[in-house]
Amino acid sequence: MTAKMKEWQRTMLCGTIREDNEGEIVTLNGWVQRSRNLGSIVFIWLRDRTGIVQVTFDPNVCDNAVYQLAGDLRGEYVLAVSGKVALRKKEDINEALQTGRIEVIAAKAAVLNRSETPPIYIEESGNEAESLRLKYRYLELRRPSLQKRLMIRSKVTNTIRNQMDSEGFIEVETPMLTKSTPEGARDYLVPSRVHSGTFYALPQSPQIYKQLLMVAGMERYFQIARCFRDEDGRADRQPEFTQLDMEMSYALPEDIQGVIERVFKKVLESQLNVKVELPLPRMTWKEAMEQYGSDKPDTRFNMKIINLSAIAEGCGFTVFENAVSQGSIVCAVKAEAAAERFSRKDIDALGEFVKTYHAKGLAWLIRGHDGTIRSSFSKFVKDGFMDKLIETAAVQPGDCLFMIADKTLTALSAIGQLRLRLARMLDLLDGTLYNPLWVTEFPLLEWNEEDNRYSAMHHPFTSPMDEDIDKMESDPGSVRAKAYDLVINGVEMGSGSIRIHDSQLQERIFTLLGFTHEEAWSRFGFLLEAFKYGTPPHGGFAFGIDRLMMVLTGAESLREVIAFPKIQNGTCLMMDTPSRVHQEQLDQLRIKLNP
């Protein structure tokens, strides 16, 4: 028989006992982490979410029944124990434990529940397959590192809520059953039992609702929102995720950015003790692409992109010359003092790497410490070009230069990825450094080759820059958006924009995106209708709490900062979902499955 909890209410948490508690009688509850039976004495490590404490069962202190119980304890038994806090002998101090200078001398104990041998070790050193750990996620969550991440997450969300409240924002919950507006990622659909043949969608974001809240006059809204996207999994994606969602009336971009900056400053300084200077640095999307080859640049290391197009014309190397003549680009990154780091095999592997980002190939130049030049293209160029190249790119003895010639965005994106690959190879990424910055003035639209039409780079409710509105029909690809992303260490934390608040302008955007008037009103008529009734100018922002937690805790995957995550194909191994349902449920929904 296990003991009744009423008789064993704890008075302290395991990890909180200190030397100041010497002599106190305490009652503890927790799991048995490990036990050592020396015959004349039994030592137990008792664990709860605050830490571990050593409990000593001495037959000279506790009665025989309690001592026998201690000898029968196994890992993960749930135990209640009462005893006196004592200082350890100097030679027994364990500095690895926060409680390592004390122990609890047990007088009484009771098993609250027994445990079978767990399929995974409840220790940080456990190296079981991820599939096994996720199947028994409730056991893996007993590990202190995962518990710590969830406790930090709780503190972070409380910090965010308090900061948003201090800024005058009102928390409003928006519906989870909403309308499907397929534009971007796929929706998760929920069939309606009452209205046969119709479906709700789970929200990809509360975007439309928060704009309607601005129409309603709430002026400053926020929500810690659950969102859903039916997209392929990656390390930084989950089918369901959490974000801080906010919207603000009568605001300029810098007003919204200022609110978010103060939230991040509060979080980073309270959780990491990182000093954050405001305002954060800003760069345009064009600058980010030209200098870093990414719209989420990692600025913890330099290695900026070098544009070589100006000197490549007439250089004699056909690959470079053709790129320039076709209006493309020749660009490079320089790995300083790395000449001895790269073997020919390494360089060939880098060439294959950039091809995965659609670049045609990689040219390279290595300047030895003695000044000698090795290159993949030197025999093809005209006299004097190599000297010009070395001067333009400031290639010093010991440096390596890697070059791509291709369509501008293709080349910049590929060399941006190469830049990050080189940084990892050369150990240039400082894990103690946090470089938040804003990327602004994104293109409003991007060309979708597959659909042969423009699509919204952010979403179709983003306002164009005032000075670019007249170019929307004549040169839509050049129109910039009042959009802004917050980036930390190469990770996009979130996106925001000033929204369109005029129904006529919104209809023009829908036309550019290929919607007919009827389609636009069918999908978004409620929004266009609302805009007729005095909609204030407004804008907003949303950032992922999960991604923020990855940055704060140094986790490599979202799965490490979410209590019950799904794997890459969207399944939950613990609950075996998605799963089939009873035919009766399908009949009620009037759904028939294809064989």
In 134-219, the DSSP E strands lie at 170-171, 189-191, 199-201
CB 243 within 8 A of CB 225: yes
Helix axis angle, 545-553 relative to 253-271, nearest 10°? 40
Decide yes or no: CATH 3.40.800.20 for domain 301-425. Answer: no
Where do you find CATH 3.30.1360.30 in the chain? 301-425
Verdict on whether the full-model pTM lies above 0.75: yes
Chunked mean pLDDT (size 10), the chain, 595 residues? 76 97 97 94 97 97 95 96 97 95 97 95 88 96 95 97 98 96 81 94 94 97 96 78 97 98 96 94 98 97 97 94 96 95 94 97 95 93 95 96 97 98 96 94 90 87 95 94 96 95 91 89 88 95 95 90 93 94 93 88
Work out the angle at residue 437's Cα, subtended by the Cα atoms of residues 434 and 442, and round it to the nearest 5 degrees. 145
Query: 5-113 in CATH: which number?
Result: 2.40.50.140
Coil, strand, or helix at residue 164? helix
CB 286 within 8 A of CB 408: no
Distance CA 210, CA 375 (A): 56
Predicted local distance difference test score (pLDDT) of residue 1: 41
Would the CA dihedral through 201, 205, 211, 217 be positive or negative? Answer: positive
Predicted local distance difference test score (pLDDT) of residue 2: 55
Predicted local distance difference test score (pLDDT) of residue 450: 82
Q: CATH class for domain 147-284+436-560?
A: alpha beta
Where do you find CATH 3.30.930.10 in the chain? 147-284+436-560
